[in-house]
Amino acid sequence: MANNETNQPLVQVNHLCKYFHISRKETLKAVDDVSFTINKGETVSLVGESGCGKSTTGRCMIRLYNPTKGEVLYDGKDIMKLSRAEQKEFCKKVQMIFQNPYSSLNPRMTVKEIVGEGLKQHGMSQAEVDAKVEKLLETVGLNKDHMSRFPHEFSGGQRQRIGIARALSVDPEFIICDEPISALDVSIQAQVINMLKNLQETMGLTYLFIAHDLSVVKYISDRVVVMYLGTIVETAETEELFSNTLHPYTKALLSAIPEADPKKAKANERIPIKGEIPSPINPKDCCRFAERCQYATDRCFHEMPKLREVAPGHMAACHLIEENK
């Protein structure tokens, strides 16, 4: 886990919204008023069930999607208001590791072409590109013999290493890891996670780690942001979140983490979440989790809870917590 030498936010996400207009009367609110910060050198994890808006948030932060409302500040500058020269510099500083190593690599390109593509865009000669690609492959546990091969010749874990090498090629400061291990075998997941941690320590990287596996999140993160149906329901430092969980949804997520010790597994009661995630199309202006929450009151179905600080650095959006303070 990274040491935070300074508390200056490298990334600030302020009231970010991303809506998709399905028809005249239907709007899919994938991300709805999301705000958080990421300090230089730390790992912030974005967690929640599939469809909660994690990946959409990450894509807005790297300009793959244009936000509907709100802003993303990188090093104090709004990324949607950058000049052409500043955009090019931003693309060098911010990179993304994609979820599926089987679809994120061009099958018609060799490893050398995939990893070196970004380097050519920034003015390197072919000889310099070749030398840099060889060094990058060694960094991620591959060798120069792999440079002339195509993606289909590699396993899933090796493909993800190629994806990581591609992200590292332009010497970024901030990497968005969009579920980088979810498509890999369990035996390979630990190798990739440890490699990401080692790279962070040696290269001073900052990560946004998008995941739904909370056991991995606990291992790699400094802070955790929990999302549900496009909104943030809880955020805190990792140790604080796991030891003093407040929101009913976060409690249910943590109870689902598999426990290797049979005695502990028996003691840890699983908290069921009833029903399916409601549709993000035209969501009601109330607590998004109310329909599935066993503690929901009448207020939860009529009023949207605000994200409030309940302890230093620990924020939650829940009427129940507010009323019990």
Query: Quick one: pLDDT at residue 275?
Result: 81
C-alpha pair distances (Å), 308 with each of 178, 195, 229, 272: 27, 35, 18, 25
pTM of the model: 0.90
Residue 240: inside a domain, yes or no?
yes
Residue 2: inside a domain, yes or no?
no
Over residues 268-303, the pLDDT tens digits come to 777 878 888 889 999 999 999 999 998 899 999 999
CA distance 129 to 135: 10
Query: Is residue 260 very low, low, confident or very high in pLDDT (cuts 50, 70, 90)?
Result: low
Query: Quick one: pLDDT at residue 307?
Result: 94
- Report, as an integer, the average pLDDT of 251-263: 77
More confident residue, 1 or 51: 51
Domain that holds residue 224: 9-324
pLDDT at position 8 over 80: no
pLDDT at position 321 over 90: no
What value does the mean pLDDT of the chain take? 90
Query: Quick one: pLDDT at residue 198?
Result: 92
Residue 3: inside a domain, yes or no?
no
Residue 152: inside a domain, yes or no?
yes
Residue 4: inside a domain, yes or no?
no
43-47, strands of its sheet edge to edge: 94-97, 174-178, 206-211, 43-47, 223-228, 231-237, 314-316, 308-311
pLDDT at position 43 over 50: yes
Query: Is residue 263 very low, low, confident or very high in pLDDT (cuts 50, 70, 90)?
Result: low
Query: Quick one: pLDDT at residue 3?
Result: 46
Query: Quick one: pLDDT at residue 117?
Result: 87
Over residues 96-137, the pLDDT tens digits come to 999 888 888 999 999 999 999 888 877 788 888 999 999 999
Query: Quick one: pLDDT at residue 267?
Result: 64
125 exposed, middle or buried (CB, 10 Å; 0-12, 13-18, 19+)? exposed
Query: Quick one: pLDDT at residue 261?
Result: 65
Over residues 176-233, the pLDDT tens digits come to 999 988 878 888 888 889 999 999 999 999 999 999 888 889 999 999 999 999 999 9
pLDDT at position 4 over 50: no
Helix-then-strand count for the chain, H and E? 11, 12
- Report, as an integer, the average pLDDT of 3-16: 78
pLDDT at position 5 over 50: no
Q: Which CATH number covers residue 144?
A: 3.40.50.300
CA distance 183 to 163: 13
Over residues 45-91, the pLDDT tens digits come to 999 988 899 999 999 999 999 999 999 999 999 999 999 999 989 99
Number of structural domains in the chain: 1
Query: Is residue 172 very low, low, confident or very high in pLDDT (cuts 50, 70, 90)?
Result: very high
CA distance 274 to 93: 42
